[in-house]
Amino acid sequence: MSEDHLNKAIHTLKERFGLREAEIQKYPPALLVPAEQVIAVCQTLNDEFGFNFLSDLTASDYYPEQEPRFHAVYNLYSHEHNTRICLRVPLNGDSPTLPTVEVIYYNANWHERELYDMFGFDITGHSDLRRILMPADWEGHPLRKDYPLGYEEPQFTFNYDDIDRRKHKARYEEA
Amino acid sequence: MSETYEVTLEELKHLVSERALSGETVLLNMGPQHPSTHGVLRLLLELDGEVIVNCVPDIGFLHTGIEKNMEAKTYEKAAVMTDRLDYLNTIGNVLAYSLAIERLAELDVPPRAQAIRVILVELQRIASHLVWLGTHALDLAAMSVFLYCFREREAILDILEMCSGQRMMTTFFRPGGLWRDVPADFELAVRRFLRSFPARIDMYHALLTKNPIFMDRTRNIGRINAEDAIRWGLTGPSLRGSGPSNDIRKTQPYSGYEQYDFEVPTGTNGDVYDRYLVRMEELRQSLRIIQQALDMLPVGPVRSNNRKYVPPPRAELGTSMEAVIHHFKLWTEGFELPKGAIYSPVESPRGELGVYLESDGGPFPQRVHWRTPSFVHLQALPVLSKGHLVADLVGIIGSVDIVLGDADR
């Protein structure tokens, strides 16, 4: 692990983009990045500091908090320097929007589709924004905290009226 | 919702070439129940004759909402669900999950537990590679290898059953160590396996490595260079077949991997054949690690003594009031992790298996996310298969070694 390299990268990003460190993240070291700077920050990390590998892209929902309601979490890795860095992007509850980074890291494509599917993020500029794990006609975004767990009949039993009734009950009365 | 919703070609237009719309190329559906897609994977293929022009993977058939379910369970109970992700690497999943909790809670793991963890995880790696080898060879029409591989895998599953009572869904590792110590004849059983297995590897090599049919069907198929492989997020043997020697056991050692002497095999061409050779060599390296871990297996406790996270031994419950309180609290409320988030990667047989674990300070996880290698590797399938024959596609799928339970979660 090259600590110096990581510190230099963090220092440069803080100076250039005015970023703060995210205290919640214990490992790897994380920076809070506004959504509009994500591409520029990723580009800098990729071009200047060799973070050439998007290891993970996910999100966390802090419902009922609204500002910010979500954090998108990018985990980047540098093969050359063997270091990891994390970017946390706070997003609002009413219209969570992220720019796509699939031009820099090709594998972001499916991760971003998963965010769209599971959290309902709008990914601007994405080449193929469809649901990935849930069926194409699914309603709602399952990993949001206000999405109920349970009371869902298996979808392919064709008891649609029953499912709709229970879904409604679960979503509006018990959630 | 009153009728089933069908995805139309109109919605997938951007994924296929224009020739498909005019009918010049053929769209073919492969799967989701095709035997060589290794689970329920559906591929939409655009074919020009027998040549693949485009390949669109469709996943999610095995989605079981494990991440959502884990948020509703205490940390220790959620561990049971980890086995159901990648069903060929069950014990490696629970290791990844336990490590994330241990790192977040700064919980110690006794040396004996760490050594046993390494032995079992490496055995599981061999078992997983055996299933890969068997099915990969089966896809390429070599039936006998499959039967031999599953025979050897039985020996490993027997060892797991001996330790935990379960052949596959073991949940043998817990935060802070192991569920319990291994039985007395564990060492004997592992040593017996270590003695017999090298000859088996030679046999697999004799059956496949210089076999002209196998070589014709794997060499220069599904090539990817190192730079593209990294950009597409490949890890593990699939990446190492292209050259980079990145292995998390070496770069960010966990569970005491730094004390073992082993090599990370790499390939040069990045084709199906090189990925095959890398995994075959990994079988031997895993044996080396197991041998070393077994030779220096320490004695001592197998669970941490930190009573805030680990229940007290049964014997203490009769004499210590404090032990009763800890026991009661742990099995009713569960433990509380300090507030924070962590990304903790391990090297699974398939590649980088990462757990993103976030705690809000309560007894339930705020968020558990699994960065699973199969999910990421499947994305690279269109790149790997473009320009190859349909018949080669099964070899390419086999060579990236996917498990659909791992991809769909």
User: Does the pLDDT at position A97 exceed 70?
Assistant: yes
User: Does the pLDDT at position B217 exceed 60?
Assistant: yes
Decide if B314 touches A, using CB distance below 8 A: no
Decide if A44 touches B, using CB distance below 8 A: no
Q: Which residues of A164-173 are buried (b: 16+ CB within 10 A; e: fewer)?
A: eebbeebeee
Cα B145 from Cα B153, distance rounded (Å): 12
Q: Could you read off the pLDDT of B156-208 as tens digits, one per residue?
A: 999 999 999 888 888 899 998 899 899 999 999 999 999 999 999 999 999 88
Nearest to B356 among A1, A24, A56 (CB): A56
How many residue pairs bridge chain A and chain B with CB atoms within 8 Å of each other?
110
User: Does the pLDDT at position B1 exceed 50?
Assistant: no
Q: Could you read off the pLDDT of B67-90 as tens digits, one per residue?
A: 988 988 899 889 998 988 888 899
Decide if B358 touches A, using CB distance below 8 A: yes
Q: Could you read off the pLDDT of B271-317 as tens digits, one per residue?
A: 999 999 999 999 999 999 999 999 999 998 999 888 888 888 888 88
Q: In the prediction, which pLDDT does A100 show?
A: 92
Question: Is the same domain home to A119 and A173?
Answer: no
User: Does the pLDDT at position A152 exceed 60?
Assistant: no
Q: Could you read off the pLDDT of B17-75 as tens digits, one per residue?
A: 878 778 888 888 887 877 766 778 888 888 888 999 989 998 888 888 899 889 888 99
Cα B199 from Cα B249, distance rounded (Å): 26
Q: Flag if A75 and B380 touch (Cβ within 8 Å).
A: no
**CATH code of the domain in which A42 resides:** 3.30.460.80
Find the mean pLDDT for residues A154-174.
Answer: 63
Question: Is the same domain home to A42 and A106?
Answer: yes
Q: Flag if A79 and B376 touch (Cβ within 8 Å).
A: no
User: Does the pLDDT at position A68 exceed 70?
Assistant: yes
Question: Is the same domain home to A85 and A103?
Answer: yes
User: Does the pLDDT at position A53 exceed 70?
Assistant: yes
User: Does the pLDDT at position B237 exceed 60?
Assistant: yes
Q: Provide ipTM, 2 decimals.
A: 0.88
Q: In the prediction, which pLDDT does B279 show?
A: 92
| Residues of chain B positioned with their CB less than 8 A from the CB of A163 | 1
Q: How many C-alpha atoms does B133 have within 13 Å on its Cβ side?
A: 32
What residues of chain A, 2 to 21, have a C-beta less than 8 Å from chain B? none
User: Does the pLDDT at position B259 exceed 60?
Assistant: yes
What residues of chain B, 273 to 302, have a C-beta less than 8 Å from chain A? none
Find the mean pLDDT for residues B232-261.
Answer: 90
Distance from CA of A108 to the nearest CA of B (A): 8
- pLDDT band at residue B98 using 50, 70 and 90 as cut-offs: very high
Counted domains in chain A: 2
Nearest CA in chain A to B56: A128
Q: Flag if A107 and B244 touch (Cβ within 8 Å).
A: no
| Token pair 């994380």: residue | A30
Q: Could you read off the pLDDT of B104-152 as tens digits, one per residue?
A: 998 999 999 999 999 999 999 999 999 999 999 988 888 889 999 999 9
Query: What domain range includes position A164?
Result: 145-175
Q: Which residues of B262-297 are buried (b: 16+ CB within 10 A; e: fewer)?
A: bebbbbebbbbbbbbbbbbbbbebbbebbbbbbeeb
Q: How many C-alpha atoms does B122 have within 13 Å on its Cβ side?
A: 28
Token pair for B362: 């309560």
Question: Is the same domain home to A91 and A174?
Answer: no
Question: Is the same domain home to A61 and A98?
Answer: yes
Q: Give the best residue of A62, A71, A115, A132 to mutate against chain B (max B CB count within 10 A).
A: A132
Residue-range domains of chain B with CATH: 66-305+335-408 (1.10.645.10)
Question: Is the same domain home to A38 and A94?
Answer: yes
pTM of the model: 0.90
Find the mean pLDDT for residues A52-72.
Answer: 88
Distance from CA of A15 to the nearest CA of B (A): 25
Token pair for B338: 């300090």
Question: Is the same domain home to A96 and A28?
Answer: yes
Question: Is the same domain home to A88 and A26?
Answer: yes
Strand partners, B54: B46
Question: Is the same domain home to A130 and A164?
Answer: no
| Residues of chain A positioned with their CB less than 8 A from the CB of B366 | 60
Q: In the prediction, which pLDDT does B27 show?
A: 86
- pLDDT band at residue B2 using 50, 70 and 90 as cut-offs: very low
Which position has the higher pLDDT, A164 or B351?
B351
Q: In the prediction, which pLDDT does A154 show?
A: 55
Question: Is the same domain home to A10 and A96?
Answer: yes
Question: Is the same domain home to A47 and A126?
Answer: yes
Q: Flag if B15 and A128 touch (Cβ within 8 Å).
A: yes
pLDDT mean across residues, chain A? 84
What residues of chain B, 29 to 88, have a C-beta less than 8 Å from chain A? 59-60, 63, 65, 67-69, 71-72
| Residues of chain B positioned with their CB less than 8 A from the CB of A55 | 233, 343, 345, 352, 354, 371
Is residue B214 within 8 A of residue B208, CB to CB? The reply is yes
User: For chain A, how far is it from start to end, CA to CA, in angstroms?
Assistant: 45
Cα B390 from Cα B49, distance rounded (Å): 9
Closest to B354 (Cα-Cα) out of B188, B237, B235, B215: B235
Q: Flag if A60 and B341 touch (Cβ within 8 Å).
A: yes
Question: Is the same domain home to A129 and A167?
Answer: no
Q: Give the best residue of B3, B70, B358 to mutate against chain A (max A CB count within 10 A).
A: B358
